[in-house]
Amino acid sequence: MKKVLIIGGGLAGCFVATRLQDTCAVTIVTKGDRRESNSMLAQGGIAASLDPGDSPQSHEEDTMKAGVYHNDEAAVKQLVTLGPKLIKALIAAGMTFDRHPDGPLSFGLEGAHSHHRILHANGDQTGEALTSFVQQQLHHVIWQTQVEALQLVVQNGACQGVLVRHLATGKQEVLVADAVVLATGGLGNLFDFTTNDRTVTGDGIALAAREGVKLTDMAFVQFHPTLLSIDHHCYGLITEAIRGAGAILVDENDTKIMAGVPCADLAPRDVVARHLTAWQAQGHQLFLDISKVANFEQHFPGVTANLDKHHVPFRQTSRIPIQPGAHFMMGGVAADLNAGTSLPRLWAVGEVACNRVHGANRLASNSLLDCLVSGQKAADSIQQMPEQALSPMTVTTPPARPIHLPALAALQKRAWADLGVERTRPQLQAFLRWLQQFNYAQLAAANLSADELTRANLCLCSQLIAQAALAEPKSLGAHYMKEDAHATD
């Protein structure tokens, strides 16, 4: 029986596991617990052309347009055609999405979509509902929680396993496998203002980069326009679906910030985030006006609970204080249409992977869909892979050396200033010069504490972003060079 090792316990990794658990020995390794992933936090929903008036072709065009046609067309076609089939299968298996009182599925609208095609579950708690449902289908899987991946083990030109550390004891061991699947999410915690779960720290990208696995599109980091902002601190996502339901972006004077912009408040995320950033830079406060949203508390129970938790008086003001923040990584470990990487026997699924389905700017609510599609394709590919003879392995760790790393807060502050919504060539160059004083590239992961490894991984990821941004010839989607006179909103 083939051994499959999945690094990451969000929707993508768990969906791979559901497809392989009956024929393979599957182990899921996650450095947090089963509920700690970006998938669990996803509010907006999952996009699919299931409405009779919609079509995969329309969804494809919306995805390509939002991605500024930097997308791989074959990957987009795969997403919009296979995705609905997988959702139908989940519904047949018992997954419950929100419906109208008379029975049909209820479809929401989000930015840059030309149709109401967003499925929700429990209002704005789709990610939690869907990920929990998929996890409940896992009956023959070994979970190793509170275990972090330190190094891919490569022998004979192929990935043969992963060196891991049990966080409770510090014990390190090599887990051998016929197939290793990276499902670690993105790198949102490179920035202090982020929607990402605390565990999402660029681990999969760093694991791959250190072994020379091909990466791609690292310049493209998506910043979501609306994060709950109180006293310059972030307290979670304010889903785009609220704007789809009629909310608008205003400042302290009730000026409509997006007035005059094509698609206004439902423009692509990169456009909205830049406009809000520019407005904020002029000294304005940013709010989401929800006065036109019917039955707000009923439709958005998760956001409502979060607002109440932080004592936001939205019932009196009809306003939610917001600002842009880091949300999603379009780039990552280069993957083909079967989620295969440049390293044999290594696959990558979900946000850690980049098969260019999202292009330069992810279309809203395509991420959960991609988790299902890339997960299915990875599982299909692994099923067809020949089994190999596995034997125990050890990894030789080089001698420890002095550690010189930035404080996490200092790195996040620099990254937000220099790698954020708007960039300049001098800022990117200055950021890389600043990084040169640290020795993250020379440190062996096995010699680092969990905190040190997080900082080293994020340093490496930030270097890759800055270098890729400098190599991009022009502004494109989420990569916006401020001095580029030809860049357009």
Q: Within a domain: residue 298?
A: yes
Q: Domain range spanning residue 313?
A: 227-324
Q: Which amino acid is residue 135, in one-letter code?
A: Q
- With b meaning 16 or more CB within 10 Å and e meaning fewer, what string describes 424-448? eeebbeebeebbeebebeebbbbeb
Query: Over the chain, what HEC string results?
Result: CCEEEEECCCHHHHHHHHHHCCCCEEEEEECCCCCCCHHHHCCCCEECCCCCCCCHHHHHHHHHHHCCCCCCHHHHHHHHHHHHHHHHHHHHCCCCCCECCCCCECEECCCCCCCCCEECCCCCCHHHHHHHHHHHCCCCEEEEECEEEEEEEEECCEEEEEEEEECCCCCEEEEECCEEEECCCCCHHHCCCECCCCCCCCHHHHHHHHCCCCEECCCCEEEEEEEEEECCEEEEECCCHHHHCCCEEEECCCCECCCCCCCHHHCCHHHHHHHHHHHHHCCCCEEEECCCCCCHHHHCHHHHHHHHHCCCCHHHHCEEEEEEEEEEECCEEECCCCCECCCCCEEECHHHEECCCCCCCCCCCCHHHHHHHHHHHHHHHHHHCCCCCCCCCCCCCCCCCCCCCCCHHHHHHHHHHHHCCCECHHHHHHHHHHHCCCCHHHCCHHHCCHHHHHHHHHHHHHHHHHHHHHHCCCCECCECECCCCCCCC
Give the tokens for residue 27: 């182990």
Distance CA 477, CA 30 (A): 32
- List C-alpha distances in Å: 380 to 136, 251, 373: 21, 50, 11
C-alpha 92/C-alpha 45 separation (Å) is 18
- Of 166, 158, 230, give the one whose Cα is nearest residue 193: 230
- The mean predicted confidence, pLDDT, of the chain is 95
pLDDT at 485 exceeding the cut of 80: no
Q: Is residue 250 part of a domain?
A: yes
Find the CATH number of the domain harbouring 287: 3.90.700.10
pLDDT of 484 reads: 56
Comparing 234 with 214, which gets the higher pLDDT?
A: 214
pLDDT exceeds cutoff 60 at 68:
yes
Whether residue 270 is contained in a domain is answered as: yes
| Residue 29's pLDDT band (cuts 50, 70, 90) | very high
User: Facing residues of 144 across strands?
Assistant: 29
pLDDT digits 0-9 by tens, 127-164: 999 999 999 999 999 999 999 999 999 999 999 999 99
**Sheet containing 147-155: order of strands:** 147-155, 158-166, 172-176
125/337 Cα distance (integer angstroms): 29
pLDDT tens, position by position, 360-418:
999 999 999 999 999 999 999 999 999 888 888 889 999 999 999 999 999 999 999 99
Q: Which of 54-58, 270-274, 370-374 bottoms out in mean pLDDT, i.e. has the lowest? A: 270-274
Residue 358 lies in a domain: no
Instruction: Give the pTM.
Output: 0.95
120, 98 Cβ separation under 8 angstroms: yes
Catalytic residue among 117, 269, 274, 423: 269
**What does the pLDDT average to over 272-288?**
96
Residue 45 lies in a domain: no
Confidence of residue 268 (pLDDT cuts 50, 70, 90): confident
pLDDT per residue as tens digits for the range 11-25: 999 999 999 999 999
Nearest to 477 by CA among 61, 14, 59, 65: 65
CB 163, CB 149: distance < 8 Å: yes
Q: Is the pLDDT of residue 329 over 60?
A: yes
Does residue 317 fall inside a structural domain? Answer: yes
Is 269 part of the annotated catalytic residue set? yes
Residue 252 lies in a domain: yes
pLDDT at 486 over 70: no
Handedness of CA 346, 368, 364, 91 (dihedral sign): positive
Q: For residue 38, is it within any domain?
A: no
CA distance 192 to 39: 19
Least confidently predicted of 264-278, 340-354, 446-460: 264-278
Find all residues with CB under 8 Å of 10, minimum gap 6, and list them.
37, 38, 39, 40, 131, 183, 185, 350, 371
Q: Which residue has the tokens 């022998």?
A: 155
How many domains are contained in the chain? 1
| Residue 116 clears pLDDT 50, i.e. is over it | yes
Judged by average pLDDT, the poorest of 265-269, 279-283, 302-306 is 265-269
Q: Look at residue 197 in the predicted model and tell me its pLDDT.
A: 94
pLDDT of amino acid 391 = 87
